[in-house]
Structure 1
Amino acid sequence: MNKLLFKQIDNISLVLFRAVFGFLITVEAFGAIATGWVRRTLVEPPFTFNFIGFDFLQYLQGDFMYFYFVVMGIFGIGVMLGYKYRVSMLAYAIMWTAVYLMQKSNYNNHYYLMMLLCWIMAFLPANRWFSLDAERNLSQKSPSMPRWVLLVLILQVWIVYTFASVAKLYPDWLDASLASLLMNSKSDYWLIGDFLQQDWVHWAITYTGILFDLLIVPLMLWKRTRLLGFAISVFFHLFNSIVFQIGIFPYMSISFALFFFSKETLHRIFLPNKKLYPANEVIIPKNKHLIVGAFSVYFLFQLGLPLRHWFFKDDVLWTEEGHRLSWRMMLRSKGGMLKVYVKDKENGKRELYDHQSLLGLKQQASVATKPDIMWQLAQKIKQVEAEKGRDVAVYLDAKVRVNYGPFHQFTDPSIDIAAEKWQPFKHSEWILPSPEGFTKRKTP
């Protein structure tokens, strides 16, 4: 075990990834301002649907977020250049985690992966070479790193891809109907719009998605298939970038190849002046047990979170319980219709409530399909009405469809959801049971 984890290896893959990762998170920070993401998500809405329990992050919202993202981008530059790396990476990790937790309307798996990588990278010796820190303080400069560093990064990537593949093994994905639905919305794309409407393209996307996610890490690990795996990875992620326009995620995924290519190849292509690290000594640190224990607990969570939906009642495609933090990427299309009623507890008067006046456009779409956001909306309405001097019950009449199937009643409209407690590890009984054949694919 000591030889496996603490043998010293060349650190070129880590220092190159730090530079690329730093560039990408810098682009993410400044790009969020340039594209209007910050304005639409964190400035214009009067409030955001934060992860439950992190309400205090609401105080960051507003015009201040422009300054916040500029500062975050500056820290990203520090990571890229390896300047005061530990401080820069920790600061970016904290700030991005706050952004991630303060809103759910624009949930994206790459936001979650970026958060995890920020925290992992903050504790890795990624500034020991090819960095301003190493040039300014030669005592920090080192051409090597313990092998556990590389294993941690590869294992994280493997978990992401494997769970993404396994999650696709359900009827609406396997019969290519979901790929067809996804591509229908791309029909107006210049040059490739008509091409994406071909049936064979839908089938290719369906099974390429499963096989790529399942096999890309093994292909990259084996020397004989590494170049093939890399070529497939570049094509796959560039296709996703063009068709789905999902920000830096495809390019971050391509950069994972740095973990797999040999040190000789990376030296020859990127840093020919860096001497190869020849030694293979095993250096056991004093905090060995802390390192092994911390990452063991971390990866137990990484394995457990994507499996937790099996411990909830009903289908995660219907309830959404256990969906987040589980690498369930582009697995379904959901739409909803929501009516909100409030009843004044003093006079018993029940009336239709204009909940959309409280929300931005993106929030309106999220609140119609996601039960945790529905619950938060009920709490918000109760708070707003309490400020007006009214104590109200809040009833949600929500109908949901999955993968363009028929609409079905989703919530029990007779339950005062504002009076319900949110239990993150228990099924919410105000969510009605999933109807048979609730997706587009009908059960025989």
Structure 2
Amino acid sequence: MTVTRPDNRELSLQETQMAESGSIKNQSGFFSRRMEAVCRWSFRPVDIAPLVFFRIFFGLMMLYHIWVMTRDRWVQYFYIDPDFHFSYPGWSWLEPWPGIGMHIHFIVLMIAAVGISLGLFYRVSTLTYFVGYSYVFLLEKSLYQNHCYLICLLSGIMVVIPAHRACSLDCLLGRIKGSLVAPQWTLGLLRLQIAIPYFYGGLAKLNYDWLLTQPIGMWIQRRTDVPFLGGYLGEEWVAWAFAYGGLLFDLLIVPALMWRRTRIFAYLIAVGFHLTNAVLWEIGIFPWFMIGASLLFFPPHTFRRAAHLKKGAIIPLPAPTRFSWGERLTVAVLALYVSWQLIFPFRHFLYPGNVSWNEEGHHFAWHMMLREKNVGIRFYAYDPATNQRGLIKVEEFLNSRQLSRMGKDPDMVLEFVHYVRDHYREHRNTELEIYVLNIASLNGRKPQLLMDPRLNYAAVDRVWTPQPWVVPLTEPLPKESWNRPLDQWEKILDLDIPESMQLARIQPSAPHSH
């Protein structure tokens, strides 16, 4: 093999091999230098004060969060009483603890939250809370909320960051060596995880319905009874202000918090935004949690000054010439995690159709406040052995929360059908065919079929790929929202419904917006 120099003189084979070897070394050196630069940034020391603040804040918020769940009897109603739990694909093997196990589980979570806040047995406390809370989160899909998913992620991050190396009982008791600094990647990772719900929530709002003020416009008009604000919420311009104000807030709040000149003003806007959400919508601890978590975008020394603590000396370290395999592995794992967080929310683009309609890829994507679905649903059972037909009484199997969420999500409907099928197999030795009439209205649209009513769903497998039996959304967004009573839908609508399904009353399902 020979190549030609710029002076047209051919290179020898040995010279060519040397040139190729040099090119490979240059490429290897380039990636090595990149890795060293990333490692150098990741392990640069920063003041540990923000991590200490977030540890105390996170632990106290989680203690309150779990206490509210126990106070409101969630444990009994959602985890112990139901015989059936909706599951996330791949997690159907999870089951609640028997007996009083779930009550003990929540007590352990509260103890772990106290341990996190105090910095006592910190690693054990954070790991216990992360595993225990994620278990509770994955037990019941009908309880999905974006802030619960965020809590799972943040509690997992807390396991690996050294937020207990200052102002903790672990330090006071001499269990660990204290430190005034922490690697920069710890603070950067927390900031990124807080930023993602903001920014991706804004990206999700860049859709046709939201840009035409739906469903936020419908919700605002229903809250005219709110003190102080209610008198203005009926105005048409308010819906546009909320829609585009919320969009711009989500997209711009993180950059504004990171820029010194706009930081204070941006934080005040964030506080106002979250307080407004807390007043208007029932979204749990999310507004209050984000008010505190957004403080992480302030400079590290701000937390030390606010607490009147002595300024820690952060000694500049000489740039290391080499990094250990452990440090390189840490950077590689961080890169994988960050890549997953940045890419996974876009998985709904792998599915055809409107994600708010078919729900395929909706979860874990930070799609917040984007849809209201009114649903009428009923289930028909047919026993081929006896030629008998009848309606399934859904309320005998599901609680009110499960019933209100199921009809909106075709995957949950299919899972429930499989449960009923297996129930009759086990208790009556009967192989049923089960058909579903599911009519839905999305964001004020005229109702239409959500699922193919002619299909025996007892014979349909639950898969990860797009479900061809989900009827595509065809109804346009109207100028005036659909407001006909549910019991009149079938009389008014011209739907292609089998004759055998036109005789019974539809079972109502409450609107779902989160």
TM-score, structure 1 as length reference: 0.94
Write the deviation string for residues 293-352 of structure 1: whole angstroms up to 9, x where unpaired: 212111222122211111112111211100000000010101111111112132343322
Structure 1 residues 355 and 227 mapped into 2: Cα distance closer, same or farther (>3 Å)? same
Structure 1 residues 44 and 193 mapped into 2: Cα distance closer, same or farther (>3 Å)? farther
Q: Which residue of 2 aligns with 1:223?
A: 260
Residue range with higher mean Cα deviation, 259-268 or 373-382: 259-268
CA separation in 2, counterparts of 1:171 and 1:61? 46
Q: Which residue of 2 aligns with 1:302?
A: 341
Q: Which residue of 299, 312, 315 corresponds with 1:279?
A: 315
Q: Which residue of 2 aligns with 1:36?
A: 73
Deviation at 1:222, TM superposition (A): 0.8
AA in 1 matched with 2:41: L
Deviation at 1:132, TM superposition (A): 0.6
Q: Which residue of 440, 465, 469 corresponds with 1:400?
A: 440
Deviation at 1:73, TM superposition (A): 0.8
8 Å contact from structure 1 (residues 342, 352) kept in 2 = yes
Which structure 2 residues correspond to residues 71-150 of structure 1 after superposition, within 5 A? 71-137=108-174, 139-150=176-187
Write the deviation string for residues 52-90 of structure 1: whole angstroms up to 9, x where unpaired: 332332232775423321221111011011110110011
Q: Which residue of 1 aligns with 2:328?
A: 289
Q: Which residue of 381, 384, 394 corresponds with 2:420?
A: 381
Structure 1 residues 275 and 293 mapped into 2: Cα distance closer, same or farther (>3 Å)? same
AA in 2 matched with 1:388: R
Structure 1 residues 27 and 308 mapped into 2: Cα distance closer, same or farther (>3 Å)? same
Tell whether 2:446 aligns with 1:409. Answer: no
Which structure 2 residues correspond to residues 18-417 of structure 1 after superposition, within 5 A? 18-60=55-97, 63-137=100-174, 139-270=176-307, 272-281=308-317, 284=323, 286-386=325-425, 387-417=427-457
8 Å contact from structure 1 (residues 42, 61) kept in 2 = no
8 Å contact from structure 1 (residues 405, 441) kept in 2 = no
**Which residues of structure 2 form unaligned runs of 5+?**
1-36, 481-514
**Which residues of structure 1 form unaligned runs of 5+?**
none
CA separation in 2, counterparts of 1:188 and 1:44? 35
8 Å contact from structure 1 (residues 172, 440) kept in 2 = no
AA in 2 matched with 1:335: N
Q: Which residue of 1 aligns with 2:32?
A: none
Residue range with higher mean Cα deviation, 310-319 or 50-59: 50-59
CA separation in 1, counterparts of 2:294 and 2:310? 19
Deviation at 1:170, TM superposition (A): 1.7
CA separation in 2, counterparts of 1:414 and 1:104? 27
Report how many aligned residue pairs link the two structures.
439
**SS at 1:180's partner residue?**
helix
CA separation in 2, counterparts of 1:408 and 1:179? 21
Identity of aligned residues (%): 32
**SS at 2:51's partner residue?**
helix
AA in 2 matched with 1:110: H
**SS at 2:245's partner residue?**
helix
AA in 2 matched with 1:296: A
Deviation at 1:36, TM superposition (A): 3.0
Deviation at 1:231, TM superposition (A): 0.7
**SS at 2:289's partner residue?**
helix
8 Å contact from structure 1 (residues 398, 411) kept in 2 = yes
AA in 2 matched with 1:20: F
CA separation in 2, counterparts of 1:74 and 1:337? 43
Write the deviation string for residues 357-410 of structure 1: whole angstroms up to 9, x where unpaired: 211111111121111110111011101111211111111111111012111011
8 Å contact from structure 1 (residues 16, 258) kept in 2 = no
Deviation at 1:103, TM superposition (A): 0.6
Write the deviation string for residues 264-290 of structure 1: whole angstroms up to 9, x where unpaired: 3221112x2333232132575541122
Q: Which residue of 1 aligns with 2:22?
A: none
**SS at 1:105's partner residue?**
helix
Deviation at 1:25, TM superposition (A): 0.6
Deviation at 1:155, TM superposition (A): 1.7
Write the deviation string for residues 10-29 of structure 1: whole angstroms up to 9, x where unpaired: 11001110100010011111
8 Å contact from structure 2 (residues 446, 475) kept in 1 = no
CA separation in 2, counterparts of 1:147 and 1:159? 18
Deviation at 1:440, TM superposition (A): 4.1
AA in 2 matched with 1:209: G
Residue range with higher mean Cα deviation, 199-208 or 183-192: 183-192
Deviation at 1:198, TM superposition (A): 2.7
Residue range with higher mean Cα deviation, 244-253 or 192-201: 192-201
Q: Which residue of 2 aligns with 1:4?
A: 41
Larger Rg: 2
Structure 1 residues 299 and 248 mapped into 2: Cα distance closer, same or farther (>3 Å)? same
8 Å contact from structure 1 (residues 400, 410) kept in 2 = yes
Deviation at 1:201, TM superposition (A): 2.4
8 Å contact from structure 1 (residues 180, 197) kept in 2 = no
